[in-house]
Amino acid sequence: LDEFALAVEAYIYAYPLVTMEVTRRVITNVAEPEGTRGPMGHLIKLRQYPDAKFRDVTAPNADTLYTTAFFDVGDEPWVVSLPDLK
């Protein structure tokens, strides 16, 4: 592999990882849930469609009600349970 091809492969591999880490830091950099942001371990639910100023995710959809959460599973798994939906 030449240097350019190696750089392209590195970019393709690393870009999504870096983008998600930046997104996590932006969204979870609050002490309590507020609006589109919340600390680690909280479910953040948008109650209205994002407007043109919404930049919390890289390419937001104008017709999607987002629910976002970041969980730290480094020490142990998180178990999320929901009641049966009928």
Domain definitions of the chain by residue range: 3-68
Euclidean distance between CA atoms 55 and 60, whole angstroms: 7
CB-CB neighbours of 36 under 10 Å: 19
Q: What tokens were used for 25?
A: 């830091």
List pLDDT tens digits, range 42-78.
988 888 887 778 777 766 677 888 888 999 999 999 8
Q: Are 14 and 26 in contact (CB under 8 A)?
A: no
Q: What pLDDT, on the 0 to 100 scale, is given for residue 60?
A: 64
Q: Check whether 10 has a pLDDT greater than 90.
A: yes
Euclidean distance between CA atoms 60 and 51, whole angstroms: 9
Euclidean distance between CA atoms 31 and 14, whole angstroms: 29
If you average pLDDT over every residue of the chain, what do you get?
Answer: 87
